[in-house]
Amino acid sequence: MKKFGVLSAFSGMLLASLLVGCEQQLSAGFSVGMHAPSLPTKTLADVDGNLSKITTYRQPDARMYQYSVDKALLAGKPILLEFATPGHCTNCDQQLQMLKGVMDEYQDRMIVIHIDQYANPQAYNAYRVMGDPWTFLIDKNGVVQFERAGRMLIGEMDSAVKQVL
């Protein structure tokens, strides 16, 4: 019985150390300073305004689906690219809720795009995203300036956005 308790405790510590380290060890394969992949992704216009065909988010904001990634990269504005699939991810739902406030603050100075895995799986492949949420901040020249796996707090997001603006 005692052996099982030690083994169980060890397994728990191992799992915890792996989970804590995910954000630091996982990378989408991009280094800050690399050009972001340009590809067409679905927009609200592509799905005739039907948000349920572009996102699993229960409270979608149409502003997140105005630009495809390729068109946004040509717009000459910074881009906040959020990979999140709230249909199976509570953290994604919370991240997208927080992004609404970010958009309220910065919508005139940057483009915010939400990429849902079910609607745009090719974008997950192109950006080498493994899991979600995953955030990229891309400068007006199309260069990745920030990459983060996992949910962010509003202060962290605000600080990262200000650095790119």
Taking each helix axis as running N to C, give the angle between helix 90-106 and helix 154-164, from 0 to 180 degrees, rounded to the nearest 10. Answer: 50
Query: What does the radius of gyration of the chain's CA atoms come to, in whole angstroms?
Result: 17
List the chain pLDDT tens, one digit each, 165 residues. 444 444 444 444 433 333 333 333 345 566 789 999 999 999 999 999 999 999 999 999 999 999 999 999 999 999 999 999 999 999 999 999 999 999 999 999 999 999 999 999 999 999 999 889 999 999 999 999 999 999 999 999 999 999 999
107: left (phi over 0), alpha (psi -120 to 50) or beta: alpha
pTM for the model: 0.82
- Which residues span the domain enclosing 129? 29-164
The answer to whether position 114 is within a domain reads: yes
- Residue 36 and residue 67 in contact, taking contact as beta carbons nearer than 8 Å: no
The answer to whether position 58 is within a domain reads: yes
The answer to whether position 135 is within a domain reads: yes
Domain count, the chain: 1
Type of residue numbered 7? L
CATH no. for residue 138?
3.40.30.10
The answer to whether position 16 is within a domain reads: no
